[in-house]
Each structure stands twice: as structure tokens, then as C-alpha cells.
Structure 1
Amino acid sequence: MNQAEAVPSSAVVRPKLKRSIIDCDIHHYTGMDVIRPYLAREYRELVETYGNALPGGMHFNGGVGGRMVDSFPPEGGPAGSSLSYMQRHHLDPNHVEYGILTGEGSGMHNTINHDYAAALCSAVNDYTIEHWLSQDSRLKGSVMIPKQDPLLSAKEIDRVGGRSDFAQVLVSNGAIFPYGNRYYYPIYEACVRHNLPFTIHVGNEGSGVNGPPTGAGHVTHYIESRASRPQVMMAHLASFIFEGVFERFPTLKVVLQEAGVFWIAPYLWRLDQDWKALRVQTPWVRKLPSEYFRDHMRVTTQPIEMTPNRAVFDQMMASIFAKDTMMYCSDYPHWDFDSPLKALPKLDDELWDRVYYRNAANIYGLPARKSERAGEPS
């Protein structure tokens, strides 16, 4: 989705990608065919005999099977399965200095079989280490965890979260409880131990053990599912704040990924207003909800909503504290991929730098650009 298309063409000055960027959402292929060798024998035999045995799944529209038509490796295989092609097709031409890998498919978050879910998560992490992180230092991994079992999740974070090539802990938007619930505290304790952000990526809403995708129940079409994602993310956002997670874990950072952006502005206005009237019920919430959001939460650009004009765009950016909270992501290789050249209209130099590099570098503990470290002009 191209925000620049929402403003008159005469007002658009397309940004030139003069500096390197951090892409916070790159979906490398992690299907069962590639992670199966990393499973214990009993699970390999389970899969070979009965299939994946995972409930639910996401239905995509657009592209080819939900992927860009030109994202499939010429040597064959699924989109996002070839590192060499991803390098040629995305990382190199788009000047990606660091890319955060988020995998492809999180059906293990839907199952009540927690041990199987944990085995799948470990397999994804081990496959990612061997075939991706060890092959290109630009890439950083996401620790996949069986979030429906917080103790097993903490164990997996402790197993691989201390590695310098993992940048965050990753879960799906669909969940059995809103993520502020104390049920998840062992996960946040592990995140804090390893200084890793907790990232919520859309997906699995209403699948398997997870709650329904809307307050009114299940939906029929993909476009309805896509439209309902912010509802679930809203519940998580409010839960983190009003359950007091950020008071208990003051260094924890949370990333809201791929559920839209500008709905956050009026939602924060409402939360601030209600907190002022109802704060007696949550005395542990010591600051305005919008302050907790600005201090502890980050949001990624894809898919950003198109505004009717540039003035509205600028107002919404200011209202969500984009200078501090927004990070670029492409969603490569999905059908709604956002090129860094087209994702946003022209930004002033400082804001561009914050959105496309520095905010992500800060939260993921990544260094300044190589050109800047070398003393060269940025």
C-alpha cells in the first residue's frame, strides 16, 4: 500500500534511498519441509504419518498464493526460501543494512499440544540459525516461542535468546488471553533477561485455541479478517497498560506488527480519556496510557493507512509519536510488500532517519550505519 498515492501527485516528492535501512519484517520460508529435519524422531514420524496436525491457517488474497509474483526463486521453491535470491531481489537493491527475519507460518501457536508446539518453535529457530543467520550477517532472527505455554516459552528464549543474531521474541496476534495477562509473565521475565523486545505479528486470530477474531465472532472473507486485526491488537495494547505490565517490567519493549498504524491515534485519545475517569480502578497505572505507548511500544509501517491528504497524514504521524515509535517494514515477500521508496510520502530528514533506521537500531540494539561508523557522509 503506497501512502504517497493518497496525496495529490503534484505534492509528492518521492524519497531517494541514499542511506541504508533496517527492514523489521522479512518473511523467510520456514515450512515443514525445511524444519522437519530439526525435529526429534517422534515428531518427524508424527508429521510423516498424520501431516502437520495443526489447526487453522491464514487465507491470502493477492499475488500468487499471497506472495509477490516476482518473489519466487528462479531455481524453484517457495517465495522467501532462497537466501541468494532474497539478497539479489530485496536486500541488496533496497540497501537493507539489517533485516529482521519473522518466518513464514505460525500454526504452532494454534495447538493445544504444547510440547509439539515447543518442538516446532525450536526447529524453526535452529533452521534459521543454520541456513540464514550464519550465512548473512545482515540478518537477525526472531525467537519463535510456544506462547500458549509461558514456561516452555521462557525455556526457548533462554536457549537461543542470548545469541547476538537474535533480535526479538515473536508471537502471533491470536492468543488465548490478552498479552497483558499475568499468565505470560514468565515470557516477559525471559525477554528482560535477554534484553529482547516482545513482538506481536498479525495472524492466527480465531484459529485453534485462540480467541475469535472479533468481538462479534468469526468472519467469512479474508478482507474481513484483515479489517479485524486491529481489534485484537487493541485488546493487547490496553491489556499491557492496564494490567500494569510496564510497571512490573519497566525495561520491556513491545512491537505491534502489521495490524495498521493510524487507528492507534484515536485509540490512545480514548484510553487517556477513560483512564482519567476510571483511574481509581487501576491505581498501579501511574501515567497516561499514551505515555506508556510512547515509552514502551513500537509500531511498524506496513500496512499504513492512506489518508485523504498530507495534512491528515502529518497530524496522524504526530499523534502516534512516529518520531519515537515508528519503524519501517516491507513484509517481503508478501503480496502487499511495501518498497522503502514508496511506503511513505516524503519525510523530513530526521524523521526519515528515525523511521527507516534509528528507531529500529535502538530497540534491537543494532549499531549505527557502517558508513557513519567509518566516518563517511551518511
Structure 2
Amino acid sequence: MIEINDGTPAGEGSARIPLIDASVHIFFGRNKDLRENFLREPFSSRGFPDYEMDWYGAPGGEYAKGTKGPNKEYPGSDVDIVARHLFADRGVDVAVLHPMTRGIMPDRHLGTALAAAHNEMMVTRWLDHPEFGERFRGTIRVVPDDIAGSLREIAKYKDHPRVVQIGIPLQSRELYGKPQFWPLWEAAVDAGLPVAVHIEMGNGIMQSPTPSGATRTYEQYLGFMSMNYLYHLMNMVAEGVFEKFDALKMVWADGAADMLTPFIWRMDCFGRPHLEQTPWAPKMPSDYLPGHTYFIQGSLDGPGDVDFAGEWLDFTGKDDMTMFGSSYPLWDMGEPTLPAAYSLEQREKICWRNAAGLYGIDVSRDIPTDLVAQ
């Protein structure tokens, strides 16, 4: 159950506030399972990085204790353990799953094969689970470098009743406003699915986490990496993506909402005198945010438990864009807490209203009515 920072339940004084966890990471328990049961030749014998093949690792370990499978399988791979942690221990009502794949592979066909294997695993083992499937929602992973392969995966799963979004890696060779990605955005709109951009694990090809090169430590990486969401977002605005695809919804799925306001203020300030340079995007940049832009906020995002936390969330309409996500089973998932300065309306938006509206989750149907705050 989400709590406010004074230790009281978020719904104290009324029925408790429902909780949708918009960022739960799932994995294969072992590479052998991936290779033998879901990858097919000519890809099952190919080399690809393990989940842990990234540039930076958390000094104390990447994952929370107790999240491995019963036989020490990879954290976030056992449905029963994940369901117990989320639904029984943490008070989550509905969980949106993000399969973690391998980012951008040098061979785009291998990348799509890996994404397809994770999609099949998620649908068959999680979304169609006989006991917990109704409480899971899924993210179909695709590879932006392989548009044809991406369109096949979207067509395969877009009508599954528990598939609610398309997932792509934050690490990209190009900014996502560039025209080569437009067929993917068009397919997402046609499918009626938002696109979630998430920091990938087990990276194949990865640019430096800052435009000026690599950071020195994991802590610096964690602080800087989410800024890349804003680079993608601002490029999509400037390239006219949201003007062309008015129904496109992007989910920046691992932080950065707290940084949106100063970045978009600067973009408005510097862009206003020069709108004639982007006739395909004639509105003020900030006008393209509502209805197109969503962020998932974890325990490390935002100004913290301070008196102005609610006011800061209100700036730029962030309280209508922000959803709670635990990043389970990562080390920093912590206990779900919200600043005491958030209003009841802000808490409800973050806990469930924004996610329910975006993903089409009918709270009256999918969450027992006695749990819903009036």
C-alpha cells in the first residue's frame, strides 16, 4: 500500500486508494530457458549479452533481496513470487509488466528475435496465468532499428486484452523524433497503444549516458541517464511528431518527470521567437505535452518530502502526466511512499487515475469496489 511520508496510508480516513504499479520488470529465469524454449534457430545458438552486461552496476547489487526464484533463478522471473510481493506484501492492485530484453543489437534481426521471445514468455506465462493473469498488464517489446520486425510483433499481440503498450529501449542510435521511426509511431496509433521508453539492461549497443561522454560512477549514471528521456521528448516536439500523430502517447518509463519543467520552460523560451523554423510544429512546445506525455516516477524522483512538493508536481501539469512505478525487483524499489504535501487528488492521480486512464484499466471491474476511495 502506498503511504504518505508521515507513515499513514494514502487513503487514511476513507477507503484506501487503489494502486497501479506501472513499472514491474520481468526476466527469464535462466538463459537456457530463453534459448531452448523461446528462441529459434538461426538465433538460439547466437551470442548475446546477459542481463548484467551494462556499463554501470549498483555497488550493493542490482536487485532487492528475496526476489530470486526458488532455485536461484533470475529476480523477477517467478510469477508466484512476484505476485506475492506485489499483491500481498505491497498492496498493488494491477501491475504493468516490462520485459527486460537486450537493448539494441548490432544485428537488428537478432534483436527482434530476442524481443519476440520475451513477448511470448510474458503473454504465455504472465498475462495468461490462470491465477494472477487478470491483475497483470503487458508491454510488447520491439526494436526500433527493425521497423518490419516491430510491426510484426505489434500485429501479433495488439488485440490481446491485457497488452496495454509497446516498449522500446531508451538507448538508441538516433533521437526518436527522426523520420525513420515514424512508421513505428503510426503503428502504435493504429493499434491504440502508448509507447513506453525504458532504460534497457543487457545492452548491445549503447551511447554514452551524457552527450559529453561517459560518467565515472554508477551514482552519476543514475542521476544523468534519465535526462535522455527529455532529449528524445524535445526532439519529438521539434520534429513535429505529435502534430503529425495527434493520438500518439509516449511513456518515459524510468524517471525524469521532476526535470520536465525547467527543460520545457527553456524550450518555450528559446523556441517562441523561432517557430517559423519548425512550421510542422506550430504550437508552443509545452502545448504538445498534455495527452501525449507520461512519466513513471519511482522512489528516487522528485524534490522529496518537502513543503513545495505538491506545487512542483503541479507545475507544467506534471500531476496529470505522472504514474507510480516501483521498478520491481531493482534494489531501489523501496516502499511506495508519497510526499506529505501532495493533495488527495494528486495522490490519486499518481497511484491509479493517470495509469487507469492511459491503459484503459476499469477500476470498478479490475479492482474491488470497496478499495476505491470516494
Q: What TM-score do you get using the length of structure 1 for normalisation?
A: 0.87
Look up the match of 2:357.
362
Aligned-pair CA distance for 1:227: 2.0
* Aligned-partner Cα distance in 2 for 1:304–1:52: 28
Identify which of 21, 24, 28 aligns with 2:22.
24
8 A contact 2:20–2:324 mirrored in 1? yes
8 A contact 1:19–1:95 mirrored in 2? no
Instruction: Output one character per residue of 1:18-62: Cα deviation in whole Å (capped at 9) or x when no partner.
Output: 13211000011235333221111322233xxx5659995253215
- Runs of 5+ consecutive residues of structure 1 not aligned to the other structure: 6-11
Aligned-pair CA distance for 1:258: 1.2
* Aligned-partner Cα distance in 1 for 2:50–2:17: 45
Look up the match of 2:177.
180
Look up the match of 1:165.
162
Alignment-mate amino acid for residue 367 of structure 1: D
Q: Would you say 1:92 and 2:88 are equivalent positions?
A: yes
Aligned-pair CA distance for 1:278: 1.7
Look up the match of 1:83.
79
Instruction: Output one character per residue of 1:58-111: Cα deviation in whole Å (capped at 9) or x when no partner.
Output: 532154x3001132345532211211111222222333221111123x32x221
Look up the match of 1:314.
310
Look up the match of 2:152.
155
* Aligned-partner Cα distance in 1 for 2:304–2:342: 17
- Runs of 5+ consecutive residues of structure 2 not aligned to the other structure: none
* Aligned-partner Cα distance in 1 for 2:273–2:172: 29
SS at match of 2:272: helix
8 A contact 1:56–1:110 mirrored in 2? no
* Aligned-partner Cα distance in 2 for 1:183–1:236: 14
Matches within 5 A, 1:57-72: 57-63=54-60, 65-72=61-68
Aligned-pair CA distance for 1:366: 1.3
Q: Would you say 1:34 and 2:28 are equivalent positions?
A: no
* Aligned-partner Cα distance in 1 for 2:367–2:217: 47
8 A contact 1:302–1:338 mirrored in 2? no
Look up the match of 1:8.
none
Matches within 5 A, 1:264-343: 264-305=260-301, 307=303, 310-340=306-336, 342-343=337-338
Question: Which region of structure 1 is more displaced relative to structure 2, 125-134 or 217-226?
Answer: 217-226
Identify which of 255, 259, 264 aligns with 1:259.
255
Aligned-pair CA distance for 1:291: 2.0
Alignment-mate amino acid for residue 221 of structure 1: T
* Aligned-partner Cα distance in 2 for 1:377–1:98: 13
Look up the match of 1:190.
187
How much is the aligned-residue C-alpha RMSD, in angstroms? 2.7
8 A contact 2:104–2:169 mirrored in 1? no
- Sort the Cα spacing of 1:269 and 1:41 in 2 relative to 1 into closer, same or farther, 3 A: same
8 A contact 2:18–2:372 mirrored in 1? no
Matches within 5 A, 1:208-223: 208-223=204-219
SS at match of 1:310: coil
* Aligned-partner Cα distance in 1 for 2:310–2:237: 26
Aligned-pair CA distance for 1:343: 4.2
Q: What TM-score do you get using the length of structure 2 for normalisation?
A: 0.88
- Sort the Cα spacing of 1:328 and 1:231 in 2 relative to 1 into closer, same or farther, 3 A: closer
Alignment-mate amino acid for residue 34 of structure 1: D
Q: Would you say 1:129 and 2:139 are equivalent positions?
A: no
- Sort the Cα spacing of 1:374 and 1:262 in 2 relative to 1 into closer, same or farther, 3 A: closer
Look up the match of 1:116.
110
Look up the match of 1:349.
344
Instruction: Output one character per residue of 1:315-374: Cα deviation in whole Å (capped at 9) or x when no partner.
Output: 21011413311101111110000422x244353222211111111011111112448785
Percent identity, aligned pairs only, is: 22
